[in-house]
Each structure stands twice: as C-alpha cells, then as structure tokens.
Copies of this chain bind each other. A is one copy, B any other.
Amino acid sequence: MKRPTIHDIAREAGVAKSTVSFALNGLPGVSEATRQRILAVAGELGWQPSRAARALSAAQAEVVGLVLARPTGLLEVEPFFMRLIAGVEAALGADDIGLLLQVVGDDPQHELEVYRRWWGQRRVDGVLVVDVRVDDQRLPVLAELGLPCVLVSSEVPGSGLTSVGLDTKAAMVAAVAHLRALGHTRIARVSGHADFQETVLRDRAFAETAGPDAVIVAADYSGERGAAATRDLLLSGQPPTAIVYDNDVMAVSAVGVAAELGLDVPGDLSIVAWDDSPLCRLPHPALTAISRDIPGYGAAAAGALLRVIHGERVPDAVFGIPELVVRGSTGPA
C-alpha cells in the first residue's frame, strides 16, 4: 500500500531496475515486448516517478522561480502578474516544470536573498525576472551567481542576460496617434514607477511621439498616486484634454477623479489605459486601452527561460504587436 518504486516494477515484471528505467524513459536497449510488459506493470501499480530522486540524480529541480517584489497593496490589484503567470504556466506545463512563486515586500535585498537561497539549494533551475529597473542591482548579482534567468523586460545591453520584451514604442505611437486623430493636442501621461526601465522607455517614446514638452507626471501604478497625478494635471493652468496611463488601475482611478471634479469622460477628458485587462470594462465609460497579449508574453518568456536553462544562448526578443482597443473613454477633443 505504499508508493511503488522502480524496484517494485522490476521485481513484478521479472527484470532488472535499469531495464525498467530505460523502458520508462523510452531509451533504446529494451525489446518492445519487455517494454510493453514493463509499462503495463507500471500502470497497474500506479507508479509515478519520485521528483526528489529524479532531481537529485539529474541535478535538476524541474522548477522555475518567480519573485514578485512590490508592496502587496500594489500587487493584488495589478492584473498583469496573474495574466503573465497564466501564460508562463502554459509554457511550463508541457514539460511538467513547476512554478515556485515568492512574493516579497519591496525589498530588493530580500529578493536577492531569495535568489541566493533558491540557487544555492538548487531549488529552481532558473528564474524569470520582472520589474527591471534602471541600473538594476539584481542583474549583476544574477549574472555572477550564474543563475539562469530571463528578463521579462526590454533588453538590458550590458547585462549579458537574455530578455523578452514588448514593443513599447509601437504601443505608445498607437495610443498617441489615436488621440491625435481625435483632435487632441494637449496630451499628458501618468507614468508608473520612475525607476523602472520600462517607464524610462515609455517616457522617451512618449516624448518622441507626443512632442518633447508633452507633460508627464510620475506616479507608481497605484490608484492613489494615479488619482493624485490626475488631479494635479486637471487642476493645472493648462489641463490636458487626454491622458495616457501606464496601467489599467491608474486609468480606472482617473474615471473616479473626473467624476469627483465634475468632468465628463470623454467630453472633457479622454482616457487611455495600458494593458487592457478586464478592469478596463469596469468603469463607465469603458476604457480605451493599449492591448497586449500578456499570457502569450509570459509563455514566450518562459519558453526562453527553458532554453537558457538548457544551456542555449538565447537572443533577446521582442514579443507581439500591441493593439489599441477603442472604447468609450476616448472621444473628440
């Protein structure tokens, strides 16, 4: 009544353990007849390989890790991560690789500590790294540790680490062009964490697209900061007629701010969200948004990680084509 082992199968089938191992792993060196018999016995016994034993022997955990390092107040309402994870697991599932998740506060030291432990104990074979910052202090450590990883981020030239990115520029162009076409000239943007690399890229893309003096107010992806930034913009001397937000959460909060100030959306203010999670359909009017295939993105990143773990040298990649989904929150200037 205990877990059957290869040894049990061997005894039951009247062959040697190694024969069983070969048969089970589809390796040559076993006659088709014996292989079938072994498989049958394994099936009857309900045998499943022991992960621990396999991991020890193969020196492979068959697990990849993901650390989420944001204050939970930010994490829990940010749909991006669950969507990413869903995609990651789709790619991992085929090889039956597990995903070890760790959410740590906002402490980069803590995050590095997790990587050191995970890799030191070979608890994971590699990790996916999100929220890459400018001059990210994690990157050199990761490189030095030799922990296989893929940056879920645009490329980071000096790092020597593989990245899988999204086309930020194209997305920004789509958003701004849409607003321009509606006649907007005073277009502003409320950005995410100022020291995320992605934010800097969007800053640049926005400046190149909306003009160098287009206003950007820095926020941090949270509803609070997003709302505050929106208030600042709308109560300023020259309020914008359209605002592009760096995520859905801040864009949703902007609808609230408009209501609070008695402004009509999109009559007085057009709003563009970024990511296009189901959050965009919560407010009225529903939000026009930059839409990207986040699950697909996660799957691509996970696929790249598997190859990196496998020892391949994987080139940086850019995933997918952003699209603008027009809903009620944008209208003529």
Interface residues of A (CB under 8 A from B): 3, 46, 48-53, 55-56, 59, 61, 63, 72-73, 75-77, 79-83, 85-86, 89, 96, 98-103, 117, 120-123, 222-224, 249, 252-253, 255-257, 259-260, 277-279, 281-284, 286, 295
Contacts and interface: CB of A to CB of B under 8 A. Distances in A.
A61 B51 contact: yes
A120 B48 contact: yes
Contact of A100 (B49, B79, B83, B100): B100
A37 to B, nearest CB: 21
Contacts of A56: 50, 52-53, 55-56
A260 to B, nearest CB: 4
A103 B92 CA distance: 11
A278 B80 CA distance: 16
Given A72-B83, A82-B76, A283-B256, A223 B99 contact: no
A75 B295 CA distance: 13
A122 B255 CA distance: 49
B282 A252 contact: yes
A6 to B, nearest CB: 13
B102 A89 contact: yes
Contacts of A256: 282-284, 286
23 contacts: A3-B122, A48-B121, A51-B123, A52-B122, A72-B83, A73-B278, A76-B79, A76-B277, A77-B79, A77-B282, A82-B103, A89-B103, A98-B100, A222-B278, A223-B281, A223-B282, A224-B281, A252-B252, A252-B282, A255-B283, A255-B284, A257-B284, A259-B259
